[in-house]
Amino acid sequence: MARIAAASLDITHLDRLALGNTYLHYLDPRAKVLVTAVFIISVVSFGKYQVSALVPFVLFPALMMAQGNIPFSVILRKALFVLPFAMAIGIFNPILDRDVLLKLGTLEISAGWISCASIVVRSLLTVAAAIALVAVTGFPSVCWALERFGMPRTFAMQLLFLYRYLFVLVEEGRNASRARELRSVGKGGMGMATFGSLVGHLLLRTWERAERIHMAMLARGFTGEFHARREFRFAGKDWLFLLGWSALFIIMRYWNVSRIFGHLVTGIFQ
């Protein structure tokens, strides 16, 4: 039950962070969505053996956290959540690709290990950027921006309802878990036999709760139209944010900044 409660607080924490008052929070969501899209495209377009070139891209999520007053632990916890999936994708690379690509003294590093590291780094960077986007924008505003870019309104609303449905699911799961623990005090749980029934009841209760919420929305005049939390207008600061970061990502994509910086440093001390 503690894990479910922690998950609920973790989800709602992003919504509270999106209510901040930094300049990032007041930027047009369309600018932030476009910058994050350029960032993700730039990161995932690197070759499978490129790792050092990805290091400068840490600058974007790091500055988003610093300037948006986002706790580092929030991004780290959620980014590490995808680490097992990234490792599962690249774990067989060292076995299938054994050609030596890098030597550090007597240590030989195969191409498989480098490609595995590249997958992990790219996964962490893209997830961190996406979470930072939601933390300084709010998921409703992200959906609003996607709709303004041409996404069908129905699909945008479905995304928003899916996000909101998670809160309902977590709350019902927390109540069901608490009831299960209260009915099995001193018995060490009720075993896996009740797990299937518990999941089925959780789905039905969540479905009924969602229907009641929808009826309440209709009673309050909901017509399927999207409304953002704030009124946004694309201004000069939004263009500066968009063009500045996009230009930097393109530069870091086509020039290995880490290698250039390394050559400069070694040239100074030689």
Q: Which of 49-53, 129-133, 177-181, 218-222 has the highest mean pLDDT?
A: 129-133
Condensed to tens digits (0 to 9), the pLDDT of residues 63-114 reads 999 888 888 887 887 777 788 888 888 888 878 777 776 777 677 788 888 8
Q: What pLDDT score does 42 carry?
A: 94
**pLDDT higher than threshold 80 for residue 28:** yes
The whole-number pLDDT of residue 241 equals 94
Residue 20's pLDDT band (boundaries 50, 70, 90)? confident
| pLDDT at residue 186, rounded to an integer | 56
Nearest one of 131, 125, 130, 136 to 28, comparing CA atoms: 136
Q: Give pLDDT, residue 146.
A: 87
pLDDT (tens digit per residue) in 166-203:
766 777 777 777 777 777 665 555 556 666 677 777 77
Per-residue pLDDT tens over the stretch 112-153 = 888 888 888 999 999 999 999 988 988 888 888 888 888 888
| Nearest residue to 76 via CA among 24, 118, 135, 164 | 135
Tell me what the pLDDT averaged over the chain comes to.
Answer: 80
Q: What is the pLDDT of residue 262?
A: 72
Tell me 172's DSSP state. Answer: H
d(CA 198, CA 216): 27
pLDDT value of position 193: 60
Whole-number Å distance between alpha carbons of 85 and 110: 21
Q: Maximum distance among all alpha carbons in the chain?
A: 74
pLDDT of residue 155: 83
Measure the CA–CA gap between 234 and 211, rounded to whole angstroms.
36
pLDDT bracket for residue 4 (50, 70, 90): very low
The residues spanned by each domain of the chain are 1-138+229-258, 150-228
8 Å CB contact between 44 and 122: yes
